[in-house]
Amino acid sequence: MSTNEKGFSLVELLVVVIIIAIIAAIAIPNLLASRRSANEASAVSSLRTIHSAQATYQATTGRNVDYAPDLTTLAAVNSPDTSGLIDTALGAGLKSGYRFTVVAAPAVPQVYCAEAHAQTLGTTGNRSFAVSQPGVIYAAPDDSITCAAADGVITGNTTSPIQ
């Protein structure tokens, strides 16, 4: 082998690959944690949007009595009554790694509940959230949050208000 040949030895290439692997091992978990945090923040924001849309629906279409029975009603863009109070992605019930549901009690029209659950707990989010007619958003550190449409009571494992 001539001393004029230029290039990297196998050992040098392996050192570079190992350094890249170490950096990736440090960065990827932080990236995933940031993504979960962003999904959770989006879920809370979406619940705020649902609450505002429900208040608008009740004040206009609901004659100050009824809330919208589901997300589809709030997202209806062809309806002269609602004209798309929430976006279509949220209206479909899936947004930013969370599943959303809204229920309104038929026997007690002035009560509704909305829930947000991570599609894949631990991957798209670590917590679940809920809101009812008072507008207080509650969080549970797992997927245990439930919202009773009959009375608007939010329950779950160590459920606590966040906003």
What are the tens digits of pLDDT across the range 7-33? 888 999 999 999 999 999 998 888 889
On whether residue 118 sits in a domain, the answer given is yes
Q: Which two tokens stand for residue 65?
A: 């009595």
Let me know if residue 3 belongs to a domain: no
Instruction: Give me the chain's average pLDDT, please.
Output: 88
How would residue 64 be classed by pLDDT, with cut points 50, 70 and 90? Answer: confident
Instruction: Give the angle subtended at the CA of 113 by the CAs of 111 and 117, to the nearest 5°.
Output: 175
Classify residue 2: in a domain, yes or no. no
pTM equals 0.81
Domain extent for 140 = 10-161
Q: Is residue 4 situated within a structural domain?
A: no
In a domain, 74, yes or no: yes
Which tokens sit at 103?
A: 């229920």
Helix (H, G, I), strand (E, B) or coil at 100: strand
Q: Is residue 119 part of a domain?
A: yes
Residue 1 maps to a domain: no
